Every structure is written in structure tokens, then in C-alpha cells.
């Protein structure tokens, strides 16, 4: 008997690997799209305009970077004709949508198929077989992304772009198949209840769909990474629907961040003749893990500090319609940076992401978009629970996932301010979500993330999950850089006092940085690349030193688009370690130096190619500026224009040199050695040396642009790199302001300069956002000649009326200037004047208030003759 079974096994094995049983194809091309509502969507009405689009698609891409606030939230219609080839007659046909934001209605040949799908981030499938006819079939999809009180997210710091923004797949199976349309789920649930170095037990729950009674076998075959069969198990699927299988293997090759070893589990349904009817593949990684609130995270018994980032599905100009190639690129860049931890925030993302987390060895947490506020009604609660179930079932088999997060900053909108009924729903939602996590998957941790004090959540009674995450922006929105260590330690203490056994994750921290902004005097909220670098250095010092911070995720891997943001670049949250089109910022290199296990060295600021400075001495030929090198070796030597500046020892992976830069091109070489291997990095800097004395004949004055009211440099354009210099007080022989005060941020950002108002009519918001208010004069001690003098001005949400005269050397240039009246609020105004300097007078620009206060954002002087 045994040998007959073996023979059967052998044949089924042969058959199963010689044919394709389940058909899968993307149908992303050539959809017709109509933005707006349609009364007669299925008519051939010529008046309805359709445009051809390719999935991934979002209808909001053009709304993003315009000057206007808001983005289209409403209906969008898609249609496409498909023909199912004859070979698939009598089979089951499904459409699988990886994600559509946010309510989806599906029609085939004008008839509704299935229920509307609710929620913009989870995968779902619909069986369209019975609606199909021979020949051509019209698929129509109505999508709506309008605000809906019953669907989360209700509010968030990201935009809810509409459209079919992930792949659509056509799935064709035999009538007997593994379930496809179970909340978008994979029909195979793999668990590894016992794993050790010696052996691993695998249990598998398979969900079958069988229209007819019959005898089927469910066959699971485990392959190692070399595609060698390790084990096969066959279970009868006589009459029951769910089939349970179980087997054990010896000496599993364990999955971990250091060794992301993946097996492949092939699951098949085989009929009595040995014909394979359906087949699905799943990744399988053997690992055991636990969190300890005092000692940290352990994987396969090894203590592992979890360091990584958060990530949004986003790319500049594409809204959320991001290709699989970009998703995979991001994961590779994160691997290059050296992370081992990824928080997929704030919603489930493209399947490509988890595939890469498994392959690259990222320990991962995944969450649902219950952000800031609940959809506080019964339908809202049910929808949120459904999303969680869909997220868990679809992603169940990824070995990289260790925790399911039920929500982010859900107390952002203070529940008490929203009334008793809201609070009740809100608390209940938390409770039921935490329970659902454990019901759906008891093999992983439940997790929730907050930004308010531990005591606040305690008072509300929402401490339901096993892990807790805190989003803390010390040194950015609140508190100073110097106090990051103190604040973090005391937060962790408060959390552990409340819940001594609940592991603490620093789920978000970070600060904004616009790659155009640079500073040698970085300050909080100046959006300089240098401040972001210092902030992350400070955080990492504490994070690495505290075992109680079991894991930490930078906010964010990349800059991302948020319609309502008004930072240095309007509509962009720029807390990324790379920009929205993936240019690396200096802090990226810091993390790489701290985390990378292979030799690494970088001139952190090498992306800043166009710099300027004032000569160190009168008639001097260079300016000294600091340059920071990051690396993971002991020390580094810096060579500037062929001359060595000597060696410096790395301190926390950084070393800063004072570098003499000459006018023109400078070659910077950093050289280090690790394990006998030489490592090098280069940078070229095009340097504009401004004379200390503007009348210098050795280095004659040519042109200068000053970012008035700011300590930052500003690179106007990535390609042209027109550079604005930081402002300074006037000194004889040089240039600078006289009088005035720096414009300060609103009170919650004490002591920070500039505003977060988005400035219309310009892309150079940061120049206008920093200003000198009440400025009396601006002086340039330049030689006689003809000059072009430009002013950059903006009146930013001022209440009072401001009128000023601008005079040059006693002559009125611009009289009775009322910016608000003439140009409007928050609009950048740039004007240039031609002036002549005679009698060695230099230039004195006087600002005279006729009413209210004077102001100046930028000033530019260019010598013509």
C-alpha cells in the first residue's frame, strides 16, 4: 500500500511541475478613464470624455504641486474590454485589485458584481465568472475617494489620492481551487508553531472551493532556496472545506535579518487521477522571536536591536500610483542603508514591499489606516475591523511580519473633545481591533502607536495591545536638540512605569530637511540638511544606548506628498532621509555609516556641489568651511586640492574637518582603511569666494544673493544651482543688514525662525519664509559702477497694514509700497532696479516705514559694469 501511495506521489509530482495550472496576468494597460460622476456610464455617449490611462493610476497627480490648496475627491470611472481566451472556458475568472482608493464598485457588461469594496489600501478579489459572456466583455470600475464618515482614515498627514493605483490581476482557476475571494486573502495559512535550530514544525490550513463533491488531495511541497525538495505532505480533502496539514523538518535554515533564508511552500490540489487542479506558492521562513520590555527584541534567541524607518507609498509627481520597480528600489536603498526594521505606515502597501522585506531580512510591522481619528459609528467600526482582517489574511504568510498595528496616533483628535458617544465608539474600536488581531493571528504581537503621553491613553482605557509605539518629535515640533536624550529617557520611563512588561518602540522621530537648504549654524525648524543630520545623530546615540527602546523607526524613509503641508516645499513633508525623488540627504549616509556591516566612508555633504563663502582675510584666497565625513572605520584622512589636512578619529561615525576652499573647483578626497582595505570617497565643490572687502581688486565683487533673515544657504534650483547666502549684520567694507528682527514661527515652535506659510508665485518659498521685520537698511560697500539690485518681498498673513518706502543712497526707488494691497497676502514679489554707484558711496538701501513695519526677504546685487 505504502508503495502505491509513493508511486502516486511520484506521478503527481511529475504532473504538477510540468504544467501551469492557475493563470495570473496583470491587466493594467489601456483603460479608459473619466474623472467625475456619470449618470449613464454604460452608454456610448459621445459627450462623455474618456482618456486612456495605464494602471497604476491616480487622478490627483496634477493636483499635487500646484499653488492651489485641496485635491479632487469624488468619482472616477474606468472601463476596459477584455476577452477571455477559449482555453479558459468553464473555468473560474476573478479580478484581483491590489488596492483602489477608496470605495470600488465593479460592473461587468453593465451588471454589478459583488459588494462595493470599502477601504483604499487592502487587496480584494471578485468572482466575475457568471457575469461573463463569450467574446468581448466590458469591465467598468467606479471609484470614489470622497470623504466618508464610515471609512478610515478620517484625517491624516498624507493625502487620500483617488484611483486604481496598484495592479489589477486577472486570475483564472479550475472550478476546484484554493479560495481566491476570501477578503482578498491567500487561501493558505502557514504557521510554524515550533521552531528550533534542530527542527521545525509546520502546520498549514488550506481553504478550498469545490463546487462538486469529489475526492481531492491537498499536497504541500517544501523547497529550499536552491529549489531542492525538502519535504512533501499530502492530506485528503474528502468532504471538509478547510484542510489541515502538518509536518516537521530537521535542521531548518533559520530566517533572520542577517540570514533572510526563504523556503518556498508549493500547495496544490490534486484530483483522484493525479491531475493538479490548482497551485499556489508561499514564502516560508523559519524563525522564532519575542519582545522583552527590558532586554529588547530576540530572533532565534539572538538579541537584535531593531533600527529602521517608516515608509509611505509615494513618489514625486506620481501621487500614490507607484510602480513595483519603485517599491523594490526603495527596499534596496533601505537595505543599502543597513536597516533591519521597517514600519509599513500607515496602511498595508504593495505586495512588492513584503516580498522584499522577506528577501532582504527586514523585521516588519504592518498597520491599518486607523489614523488620527475613528470613524465613530457602527459601520465605521465594522469597516475598520474588516480592513484589519483583510490586511492580516492577505499578508499572513510573510515571515518578516512580527506585529500587526491597529492604528496610528488615534488620540490625535482628543476623544474627549469629540463627545461621549465618540469616545465610547473609539474605545470599543480599539478593544475589538486588539482582540481581532489575536483571533486572526495568535502567532504575532498586537501593536498600537500613539503620540500622546502614556497617562493619556491610560485614562481613556486603550492599553489593549502587547506592544506600544510612540511617535516623538523632540528637537523638532517640541523641545530642543540638546534635550533629546533627557526627553527620550523620561518618556521610556513613564511608559514602563505604566506597563512594565510592554515593550516600547520609538515608532517615529525625525525632522524636515529640504535638500536646497544648507547651514553652518543649523537651528530647529530651519529645514536645513545639517539640522536633520544633527537631530538623527542625537537620537541614534540614545536609541543605541537604551535596550528598553526595543526598536526605532525614522520618520520617514522618503519625503512624501501631503496636500495640506506648508513646509519649505509646499505639499511636501520633507522628513525623509531621501527626497521625494530619492536623492540621498546627508543623514542617509550617517545611518549607513552607523548600520552598515561592510566598510563604508562618505563625504556626507557631497550632494552640495555649489557653495560660497566670504574670504577669511582681506585679500584672502580661501574661506574655511566645515566638512563632515561619515564612516565605520577608525579614522579618516582628508585631502583637499591635493594637500592632506591630516587624520581625524571618527566619533560616533562622524569626523568634521575645517576645510580651506578656494574660488573655483575644489577636489575633496576622504581616505580610510578597514581590515587592510582602502576606502575612499570624493566630492567636487564649485566655490564662489566672496571678497571680505567688496572693493577688493584682487578678487573683484561680481554678484551676491542674500537669504535675508536666515542663517541658511539656499540652492535655488537643482540644475542651475543658483546660491543664496545666509544673512549677516553689516560690517564696514562688507555687506549686511542694519536693524530689524528675525521673523519667528508661531508660538508652538518657540525660538525658531521663518514661517510655515506656503508662498504663492514662487518655488523658492524658503527665501520668502525667512524675513527681517523692521529692517532699517541694507548696505553693500561696493566700488563705483552700474548694478542690478533685486528685492524679494512678501507679506505673510499680517493683520495690520504695512506701507514702506525703499530708498537707495537717499533716492526713492519704490514709494508707498503696500505689498498686501498691491499683490495680496502670501505672494512672493521680486523686482529688480538698475542703479549707479558714484563717489565711492557704496550702496545704502533704506527701508522707511510709512505705516506698520518694513520687511525684506531677499536681496540680490549684480555688477553690470
Task: Mark 500-539 with x for binding to ligand GCB (rule: CB under 6 A) and - for no binding.
Answer: --------x-------------------------------
Q: Least distance (Å) from ligand GCB to the CB of residue 560?
A: 8
∠ CA(553), CA(559), CA(565), 5° rounding?
110
How many chain residues bind ligand GCB (CB under 6 A)?
9
Nearer to ligand GCB, 451 or 780 (CB): 451
Pairing of strands 504-508, 136-144: unpaired
The cell numbers describing 255, all together, are: 530566517
∠ CA(108), CA(113), CA(118), 5° rounding?
120
Q: Least distance (Å) from ligand GCB to the CB of residue 100?
A: 22
The cell numbers describing 709, all together, are: 533673515
Cβ atoms of 343 and 309 closer than 8 Å: yes
Q: Least distance (Å) from ligand GCB to the CB of residue 475?
A: 13
Nearer to ligand GCB, 287 or 311 (CB): 311
Using left for φ > 0, alpha for ψ between -120 and 50, and beta otherwise, residue 135 falls in left
Cβ atoms of 471 and 450 closer than 8 Å: yes
Nearer to ligand GCB, 508 or 795 (CB): 508
Q: Least distance (Å) from ligand GCB to the CB of residue 715?
A: 23
Q: Least distance (Å) from ligand GCB to the CB of residue 412?
A: 8
Measured in whole angstroms, how far is the alpha carbon of residue 291 from the centre of its chain?
Answer: 26
Q: Where are the beta strands (DSSP E) in 650-796?
A: 654-662, 664-674, 677-690, 703-707, 712-715, 723-726, 735-738, 741-742, 772-773, 777-780, 785-793
Q: Least distance (Å) from ligand GCB to the CB of residue 448?
A: 12
Beta-bridge partner residues of 692: none
Q: For the segment 781-810, give every residue that binds ligand GCB (CB under 6 A).
A: none
Q: For the segment 397-436, give every residue that binds ligand GCB (CB under 6 A).
A: 408-409
Smallest CA-to-CA distance from 182 within 199, 151, 207 is with 207
Q: Which of 142, 444, 516, 575 binds ligand GCB (CB under 6 A)?
A: 575
Measured in whole angstroms, how far is the alpha carbon of residue 24 from the centre of its chain?
Answer: 30
Task: Mark 145-164 with x for binding to ligand GCB (rule: CB under 6 A) and - for no binding.
Answer: ------------x-------
Q: For the segment 660-679, give every residue that binds ligand GCB (CB under 6 A).
A: none
Q: Least distance (Å) from ligand GCB to the CB of residue 572?
A: 11
The b/e string for 157-193 (b: 16+ C-beta within 10 A; e otherwise) is bbbbbbbbbbbbbbbbbbebbbbbbbbbbbbbbbbbe
Nearer to ligand GCB, 484 or 804 (CB): 484
Nearer to ligand GCB, 157 or 441 (CB): 157
DSSP 651: B
Nearer to ligand GCB, 451 or 527 (CB): 451
Q: Least distance (Å) from ligand GCB to the CB of residue 555?
A: 5
Q: Least distance (Å) from ligand GCB to the CB of residue 297?
A: 22
Nearer to ligand GCB, 159 or 340 (CB): 159
Backbone angles phi, psi at 650, to 5 degrees: -70, 135
Q: For the segment 542-571, give every residue that binds ligand GCB (CB under 6 A).
A: 555
Q: Least distance (Å) from ligand GCB to the CB of residue 371?
A: 7
Q: Least distance (Å) from ligand GCB to the CB of residue 320?
A: 14
Nearer to ligand GCB, 75 or 756 (CB): 756
Q: Least distance (Å) from ligand GCB to the CB of residue 367?
A: 10
Q: Least distance (Å) from ligand GCB to the CB of residue 346?
A: 6
Nearer to ligand GCB, 539 or 555 (CB): 555
Q: Least distance (Å) from ligand GCB to the CB of residue 471?
A: 4
Nearer to ligand GCB, 465 or 857 (CB): 465
When asked if residue 471 is in the footprint of ligand GCB (CB under 6 A), the reply is: yes
Q: Least distance (Å) from ligand GCB to the CB of residue 801?
A: 34
Q: Which of 451, 509, 735, 847 binds ligand GCB (CB under 6 A)?
A: 451
829 sits in which H/E element: strand 829-837
Nearer to ligand GCB, 78 or 509 (CB): 509
Q: Least distance (Å) from ligand GCB to the CB of residue 453?
A: 14
Q: Which of 102, 573, 625, 770 binds ligand GCB (CB under 6 A)?
A: 573
Nearer to ligand GCB, 254 or 535 (CB): 535
How many helices (H) and strands (E) in the chain?
11, 55
Contacts of 263 (CB under 8 A, 6+ apart): 222, 223, 224, 225, 230, 252, 253, 283, 284, 285, 286
CA dihedral 252, 257, 258, 262 (to 10 degrees): 40
Pairing of strands 677-690, 610-614: parallel
The closest residue (CB) to ligand GCB is 157
Q: Least distance (Å) from ligand GCB to the CB of residue 158?
A: 6
Cis bond before residue 102 (omega within 30° of 0):
yes
Burial class (CB in 10 A: 0-12, 13-18, 19+), 140: buried
Pairing of strands 772-773, 855-856: antiparallel
Nearer to ligand GCB, 88 or 473 (CB): 473
Cα–Cα distance measured from residue 833 to residue 792, given in angstroms and rounded to the nearest whole number: 12
Q: Least distance (Å) from ligand GCB to the CB of residue 190?
A: 32
Sign for the pseudo-dihedral over CA of 145, 150, 152, 158: positive
Q: For the segment 714-743, give every residue that binds ligand GCB (CB under 6 A).
A: none
Nearer to ligand GCB, 170 or 554 (CB): 554
Pairing of strands 341-344, 363-367: parallel
CA dihedral 382, 385, 389, 391 (to 10 degrees): 120
Nearer to ligand GCB, 288 or 473 (CB): 473
Residue 215 CB coordination number (10 Å): 11
Nearer to ligand GCB, 347 or 687 (CB): 347
Cα–Cα distances in angstroms (integers) from residue 133 to residues 83, 110, 136, in the given order: 9, 12, 7
Nearer to ligand GCB, 308 or 691 (CB): 308
The cell numbers describing 792, all together, are: 524679494
Nearer to ligand GCB, 588 or 687 (CB): 588
Cα–Cα distance measured from residue 734 to residue 554, given in angstroms and rounded to the nearest whole number: 42
Smallest CA-to-CA distance from 313 within 166, 449, 451 is with 166
Q: For the segment 610-669, give every residue that binds ligand GCB (CB under 6 A).
A: none
Largest distance between two CA atoms of the chain: 114
Sign for the pseudo-dihedral over CA of 795, 798, 799, 800: negative
What single string gives the DSSP state of each residue in 311-332? E-S--TTSTT---HHHHHHHHH
Residues that bind ligand GCB (CB under 6 A): 157, 408-409, 451, 471, 508, 555, 573, 575
Amino acid at each position: 500500500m505504502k508503495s502505491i501511495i509513493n508511486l502516486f506521489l511520484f506521478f503527481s509530482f511529475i504532473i504538477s511541475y510540468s504544467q501551469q495550472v492557475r493563470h495570473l496576468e496583470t491587466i493594467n494597460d489601456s483603460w479608459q478613464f473619466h474623472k467625475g460622476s456619470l449618470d449613464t456610464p454604460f452608454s456610448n455617449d459621445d459627450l462623455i470624455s474618456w482618456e486612456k490611462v495605464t494602471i497604476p493610476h491616480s487622478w490627483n497627480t496634477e493636483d499635487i504641486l500646484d499653488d492651489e490648496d485641496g485635491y479632487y475627491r469624488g468619482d472616477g470611472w474606468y472601463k476596459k474590454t477584455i476577452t477571455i481566451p477559449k482555453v479558459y472556458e468553464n473555468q473560474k475568472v476573478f479580478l484581483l485589485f491590489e488596492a483602489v482608493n477608496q470605495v470600488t464598485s465593479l460592473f461587468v457588461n453593465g451588471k454589478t458584481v459583488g459588494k462595493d469594496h470599502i477601504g483604499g489600501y487592502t487587496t480584494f478579489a471578485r468572482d466575475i465568472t457568471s457575469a461573463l459572456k463569450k467574446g468581448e466583455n466590458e469591465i467598468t470600475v467606479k471609484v470614489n475617494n470622497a470623504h466618508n464618515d464610515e471609512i478610515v482614515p478620517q484625517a491624516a498627514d498624507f493625502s487620500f489620492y483617488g484611483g486604481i493605483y496598484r495592479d489589477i490581476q486577472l486570475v483564472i482557476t479550475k472550478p476546484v481551487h484554493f479560495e481566491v475571494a476570501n477578503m482578498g486573502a491567500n487561501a493558505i495559512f502557514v504557521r510554524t508553531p515550533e521552531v528550533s535550530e534542530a527542527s521545525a514544525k509546520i502546520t498549514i490550513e488550506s481553504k478550498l472551493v469545490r463546487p462538486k463533491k469529489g475526492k481531492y488531495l491537498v499536497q504541500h511541497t517544501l523547497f529550499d532556496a536552491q529549489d531542492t525538495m525538502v519535504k512533501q505532505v499530502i492530506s485528503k480533502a474528502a468532504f471538509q472545506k478547510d484542510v489541515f496539514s502538518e509536518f516537521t523538518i530537521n535542521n531548518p535554515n533559520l530566517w533572520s535579518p542577517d540570514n533572510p533564508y526563504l523556503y518556498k511552500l508549493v500547495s496544490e490540489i490534486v484530483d483522484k487521477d493525479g491531475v493538479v487542479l490548482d497551485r499556489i506558492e508561499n514564502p516560508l521562513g523559519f524563525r522564532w522571536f519575542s519582545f522583552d520590555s527590558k532586554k529588547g527584541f530576540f530572533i532565534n534567541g539572538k538579541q537584535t536591536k531593531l533600527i529602521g524607518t517608516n515608509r509611505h507609498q509615494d513618489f514625486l509627481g506620481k501621487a500614490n500610483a507607484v510602480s513595483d520597480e519603485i517599491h523594490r528600489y526603495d527596499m534596496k536603498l533601505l537595505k543599502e542603508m543597513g536597516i533591519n526594521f521597517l514600519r509599513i505606515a500607515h496602511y498595508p502597501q504593495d505586495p512588492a514591499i513584503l516580498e522584499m522585506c522577506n528577501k532582504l531580512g527586514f523585521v516588519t510591522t504592518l498597520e491599518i489606516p486607523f489614523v488620527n481619528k475613528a470613524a465613530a459609528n457602527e459601520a465605521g467600526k465594522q469597516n475598520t475591523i474588516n480592513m484589519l482582517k483583510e490586511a492580516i489574511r492577505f499578508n499572513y504568510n510573510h515571515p518578516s511580519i512580527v506585529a500587526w498595528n491597529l492604528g496610528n496616533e488615534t488620540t490625535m483628535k482628543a476623544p474627549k473633545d469629540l463627545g461621549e458617544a465618540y469616545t465610547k465608539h473609539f474605545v470599543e474600536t480599539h478593544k475589538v481591533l486588539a482582540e481581532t488581531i489575536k483571533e486572526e493571528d495568535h502567532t504575532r504581537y498586537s501593536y498600537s502607536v500613539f503620540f500622546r503621553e502614556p497617562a493619556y491613553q491610560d485614562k481613556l482605557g486603550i492599553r489593549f495591545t502587547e506592544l506600544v509605539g510612540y511617535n516623538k518629535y523632540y528637537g523638532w515640533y517640541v523641545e530642543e536638540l540638546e534635550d533629546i536624550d533627557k526627553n527620550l529617557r523620561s518618556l521610556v520611563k513613564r511608559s514602563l512605569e505604566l506597563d512594565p512588561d510592554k515593550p516600547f518602540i520609538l515608532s517615529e522621530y525625525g525632522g524636515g530637511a529640504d535638500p536646497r537648504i544648507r547651514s553652518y549654524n543649523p537651528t530647529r525648524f530651519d529645514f536645513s540638511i545639517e539640522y536633520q543630520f544633527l537631530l538623527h545623530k542625537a537620537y541614534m546615540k540614545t536609541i543605541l544606548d537604551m535596550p528598553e527602546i526595543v526598536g526605532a523607526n525614522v520618520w520617514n524613509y522618503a519625503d512624501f506628498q501631503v496636500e495640506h503641508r506648508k513646509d519649505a516645499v509646499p505639499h511636501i513633508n520633507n522628513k525623509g532621509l531621501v527626497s521625494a525623488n530619492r536623492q540621498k540627504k546627508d543623514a542617509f549616509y550617517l545611518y549607513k555609516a552607523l548600520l552598515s556591516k561592510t566598510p563604508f566612508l562618505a563625504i556626507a555633504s557631497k550632494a552640495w556641489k555649489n557653495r560660497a563663502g566670504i574670504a577669511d582675510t582681506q585679500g584672502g584666497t580661501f574661506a574655511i568651511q566645515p566638512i563632515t565625513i561619515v564612516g565605520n572605520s577608525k579614522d579618516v584622512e582628508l585631502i583637499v586640492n591635493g594637500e592632506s589636512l591630516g587624520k581625524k578619529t571618527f566619533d560616533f561615525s562622524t569626523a568634521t574637518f575645517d576645510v580651506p576652499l578656494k574660488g573655483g573647483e575644489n577636489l575633496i578626497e576622504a581616505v580610510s582603511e578597514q581590515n587592510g582595505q582602502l576606502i575612499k570617497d570624493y566630492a567636487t565643490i564649485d566655490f564662489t569666494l566672496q571678497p571680505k572687502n567688496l572693493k577688493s581688486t584682487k578678487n573683484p565683487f561680481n554678484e551676491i544673493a542674500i537669504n535675508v533673515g536666515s542663517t541658511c544657504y539656499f540652492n535655488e534650483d537643482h540644475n542651475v544651482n543658483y546660491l543664496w547666502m545666509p544673512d549677516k549684520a553689516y560690517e564696514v567694507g562688507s555687506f549686511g543688514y542694519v536693524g530689524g528682527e528675525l521673523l519667528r514661527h508661531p508660538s508652538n515652535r518657540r525660538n525658531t525662525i521663518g514661517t510655515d506659510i506656503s508662498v504663492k508665485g514662487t518655488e523658492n518659498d524658503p527665501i520668502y519664509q525667512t524675513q527681517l521685520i523692521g529692517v532699517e537698511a541694507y548696505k553693500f560697500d561696493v566700488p563705483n559702477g552700474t548694478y542690478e539690485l533685486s528685492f524679494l518681498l512678501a507679506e505673510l498673513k499680517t493683520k495690520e497694514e504695512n506701507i514702506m518706502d525703499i530708498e537707495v543712497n537717499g533716492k526713492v526707488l519704490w514709494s508707498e509700497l503696500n505689498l498686501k494691497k498691491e499683490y495680496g497676502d502670501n505672494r512672493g514679489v521680486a523686482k529688480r532696479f538698475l542703479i549707479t554707484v558714484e563717489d565711492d558711496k557704496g550702496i545704502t538701501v533704506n527701508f522707511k516705514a510709512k505705516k506698520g513695519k518694513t520687511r525684506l526677504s531677499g536681496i540680490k546685487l549684480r555688477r553690470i559694469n
